[in-house]
Structures are given as structure tokens and as C-alpha cells.
């Protein structure tokens, strides 16, 4: 079996790049003949098609990346297998996707979104994202590397550190978490809420809105936003520095940070929706807040990114849920339970670690990929 993996290569610390890189690593460790190439590098991809002659080209992205993931390999007679996340709505490329013998998606929820938006689902298989469980491991807060992370963030040893990680924090539910923290601020143990976001213009604007909310709630001195560029070498120690990982995301097709937190033995607070009902177990590895609001769209404007002309208008035959908001009251209650009980945090963290190692270790995912390709495409 010869596999070419398309993703953001060399990898940045972002989710899609990490997803692709861990699959590449897992395949290499299994002894599969495999190479990695940047998903947008047309010339280098063609070079691999010509001399390597891969049996399968697997590409990591979302449906809008179809020109890079699907159409480009097809142009050279190579079999593409896209491994897709969802952004809440499949706007185009239904015919292209339906004609493929195999599509991989990161969760059953992503599969349901694609089926809702026009695909039959007959060629779709679920392949979860892998996690490096050798790097993301439980570490004591007195570990010098972990302690230095807390110190650099201004979190004291006595503080309960709550963490959210994302490209921006609001999409991961940070505003709901802040509202919940404001509700329990007077009775909760000492705490700090850290939001690690990626520096980019959109994020900077969102950070200002989030910090304005924190100020209006009267908790701005306890909310810390950090926007430094960091590598994957740093992230396990940041995760180990927290006591609770809180991300009741508004849109989540898998939830890599939630799973990485579990690998580090941290209890997770999520939302009872989307992929989190698959990756997290309510009451055992995590608490899942109920849905308070669903954001529904009746129409949308798309353009070149979706394969249409700029300003293309789509009116849905029926309204589409594209976003969720978790109950701040549920979040507040679950946070209070976790903040007040270190034994509960430890118990849930241990269960989370065991679940991640068994189901989401990157080597387990790579083996599952080989099995799916072998069964569905007849390639060995």
C-alpha cells in the first residue's frame, strides 16, 4: 500500500496540520510506504503522482478544499480519499463527493451534516483524529516545566486554572464560560481563566469583544488571554498546567483539544451536541452542558471559496442549524462541582486518559485507516 498524505506540510501547530501529521507518523510507524506533501503545492503533488504512483491520496481539510484534495489528484488519474471536517454546512461539491468510492470524516456528526446537505452517506466512513498520547500525558503541577507555564501566565499554585484553547476563544464557548464563572465567582475557590488563542487579525478583534464582556461581568482581573505563537512541543505542558479544560464549543466536528486534555488526565467541560457526544462520556470523562440556543440560518451568501461566483445566494428549503450555545447555568453548576472537588477532577481525568489511549492514539487511528482503505478500496 502506497499512501500520499496531503495537509499543511511542514506542519504548523494548527488542528488540521496536526491531524494530517499524526496520520503520516502513524502510517510510517506501521511500515506503510508513505510520503507527505503540502495540500496546496500543485507541482510537488504532481511530482509524487508521477514517480511514487500512490495507491491512495488522502487529503485533510473541509469540503471547500475539494479542488486541492479531490479534483487535483483525479486530474492525474490518482485515487483521492478526502478526510473531512465540517463547518456547519456543505455548500457545494456534492456531486464530486458523491462520486467518490470513499470519504472519511472525523465524527458521526460530520457525516450527518453531509447527509443533511445532500450526500447519501453510503461512501462515508468515520475516522477520528489521532492524538499523540506519548506527549500528552498527565504531569504533576510541581513538574518544573508545568509550574513555569502557570507562573508565566500569572496563575498561582493555589488558583484553580481553567483553560480554553482555539484559533479564537469565542467559537470554543469562552463567552459562555465567562458568564458561568461570573455566576459562581463569589462562592467558587480562587480561580483564573486562561484562553490560549492564535494571533491573527480576526482573533484580535474577537479578543477585544471577549475582554469587554469579562469587564462588564466584573471578572476581567481573573481572565487571561494569551496570543503567543507556540509549537506543539509547548502545548502538552500548557494542558498539564490547567485543572479543568472548558470548551463548550459552538461548532465542533471532533474536538482535538478536548481529547488532548483527556490524554493529560484533565476533566473536560463540553456541550451535549455535535462530536463531543462521541468523544466525551458525560459524567465519566467530562460534563456536557445542555444546549441553550441553536443558531439557525434560512439563507447564506457564498462565493469563490465554495466554487461559485462572488455573492452567490442560497436559500435553504428548510432552516439549518449552524451554531450552538451551551447553557451557562449548566456550565456554572459543573464548574462548581469540579472546582470544589479535587478527587472528582482526578477520577474524571483518569477515565479520560484511559478512553483516549484506547480509542484516539494516533497509532490506533493509523491502523483503522489502513483497515478501512483495505476493506473499502481493496488495496493492500
> Looking at the domain assignment, is residue 311 inside a domain?
no
Q: Are residues 84 and 151 in the same domain?
A: no
> 3-state class of 355 per DSSP?
helix
The CATH number of residue 196's host domain is 3.40.50.2000
Q: Do 214 and 243 fall within a single domain?
A: yes
Could you tell me if residue 231 is inside a domain? yes
Confirm whether 187 is domain-assigned.
yes
* Domain count within the chain: 2
Shared domain check, 238 and 215:
yes
DSSP 191-206: EEEEEEE--SHHHHHH
**The predicted structure's pLDDT at residue 312:** 81
353 and 365: one domain?
Answer: no
pLDDT tens-digit map of 330-363:
999 999 999 999 999 999 999 999 999 999 999 9
Give the contacts of 10 (CB within 8 A, at least 6 positions apart). 38
Q: Is 53 part of any domain?
A: yes
- The pLDDT assigned to 192 comes to 98
Rounded to the nearest integer, the mean pLDDT of the chain is 94
Do 241 and 201 fall within a single domain? yes
Query: DSSP labels for 137-193?
Result: ----TTSHHHHHHHHHHT--TTSEEEEEEESSSGGGTHHHHHHHHHHHTTTSPSEEE
CA dihedral over 323, 327, 328, 331, signed as positive or negative: negative
Q: How far apart are CA 259 and CA 360, in angstroms?
A: 8
User: What pLDDT was estimated at residue 298?
Assistant: 85
* Same domain for 171 and 112: no
Give yes or no: residues 106 and 174 share one domain.
Answer: no
Q: How does residue 313 score in pLDDT terms, banded at 50, 70 and 90?
A: confident
pLDDT band at 204 (very low <50, low <70, confident <90, very high): confident
**Domain shared by 43 and 156, yes or no:** no
Q: Assess if residue 26 is contained within a domain.
A: yes
Asked if 64 and 113 sit in the same domain, the reply is yes
Angle CA 317–321–326, to nearest 5: 165
User: Based on the domain organization, do 158 and 279 belong to the same domain?
Assistant: yes
Average of per-residue pLDDT across 98-107: 97
Task: Tell me the per-residue pLDDT of 8-57, one tens digit each, with 9 for 90 and over.
Answer: 999 988 899 999 999 999 999 999 999 999 999 999 999 999 999 999 99
Domain of residue 27: give its range. Answer: 2-130+361-377
Report yes or no on 135 lying in a domain.
no
pTM, full prediction: 0.94
104 and 227 both lie in a single domain: no
What pLDDT score does 106 carry?
A: 97
Rounded to 5 degrees, φ, ψ at 287 are -110, 130
Asked whether residue 211 falls in the same domain as residue 348, the answer is yes
Does 46 fall in a domain? yes
The answer to whether residue 345 is domain-embedded is yes
Amino acid at each position: 500500500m502506497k499512501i500520499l498524505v496531503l495537509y499543511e506540510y511542514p506542519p504548523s501547530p494548527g488542528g488540521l496540520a496536526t491531524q494530517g501529521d499524526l496520520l503520516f507518523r502513524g502510517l510510517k510507524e506501521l511500515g506503510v510506504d508513505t510520503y507527505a506533501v503540502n495540500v496546496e503545492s500543485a507541482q510537488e503533488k504532481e511530482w509524487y503522482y508521477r514517480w511514487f504512483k500512490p495507491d491512495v491520496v488522502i487529503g485533510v481539510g473541509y469540503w471547500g478544499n475539494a479542488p486541492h484534495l479531490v479534483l487535483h489528484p483525479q486530474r492525474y488519474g490518482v485515487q483521492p480519499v478526502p478526510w473531512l471536517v465540517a463547518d456547519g454546512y456543505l455548500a457545494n461539491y456534492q456531486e464530486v463527493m458523491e462520486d467518490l468510492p470513499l470519504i472519511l470524516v472525523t465524527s458521526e456528526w460530520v457525516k450527518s451534516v453531509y447527509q443533511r446537505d445532500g450526500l447519501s452517506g453510503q461512501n462515508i466512513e468515520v475516522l477520528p483524529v489521532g492524538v499523540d498520547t506519548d506527549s500528552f500525558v498527565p504531569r504533576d503541577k510541581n513538574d518544573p516545566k508545568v509550574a513555569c507555564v502557570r507562573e508565566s501566565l500569572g496563575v498561582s499554585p493555589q488558583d484553580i486554572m481553567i483553560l480554553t484553547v482555539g484559533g479564537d476563544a469565542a467559537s470554543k464557548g469562552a463567552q459562555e464560560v465567562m458568564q458561568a464563572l461570573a455566576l459562581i465567582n463569589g462562592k467558587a475557590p480562587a480561580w483564573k481563566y486562561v484562553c490560549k488563542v492564535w494571533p491573527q487579525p480576526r482573533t484580535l478583534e474577537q479578543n477585544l469583544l471577549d475582554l469587554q464582556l469579562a469587564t462588564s461581568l466584573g471578572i476581567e482581573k481573573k481572565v487571561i488571554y494569551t496570543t503567543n505563537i507556540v509549537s506543539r512541543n509547548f502545548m502538552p505542558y500548557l494542558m498539564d498546567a490547567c485543572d479543568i479544560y472548558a470548551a463548550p464549543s459552538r461548532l465542533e466536528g471532533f474536538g482535538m483539544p478536548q481529547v488532548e486534555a483527556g490524554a493529560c488526565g484533565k476533566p473536560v467541560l463540553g456541550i451535549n451536541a455535535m462530536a463531543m457526544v462521541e468523544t466525551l462520556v458525560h459524567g465519566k470523562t467530562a460534563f456536557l452542558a445542555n444546549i441553550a440556543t441553536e443558531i439557525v440560518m434560512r439563507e447564506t451568501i457564498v462565493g469563490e471559496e465554495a466554487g461559485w461566483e462572488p455573492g452567490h445566494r442560497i436559500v435553504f428549503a428548510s432552516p439549518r442549524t449552524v451554531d450552538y450555545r451551551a447553557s451557562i447555568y449548566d456550565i456554572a453548576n459543573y464548574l462548581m462541582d469540579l472546582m470544589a472537588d479535587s478527587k472528582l477532577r482526578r477520577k474524571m481525568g483518569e477515565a479520560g486518559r484511559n478512553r483516549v489511549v484506547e480509542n484516539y492514539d494516533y497509532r490506533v487511528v493509523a491502523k483503522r485507516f489502513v483497515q478501512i482503505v483495505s476493506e473499502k478500496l481493496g488495496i493492500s
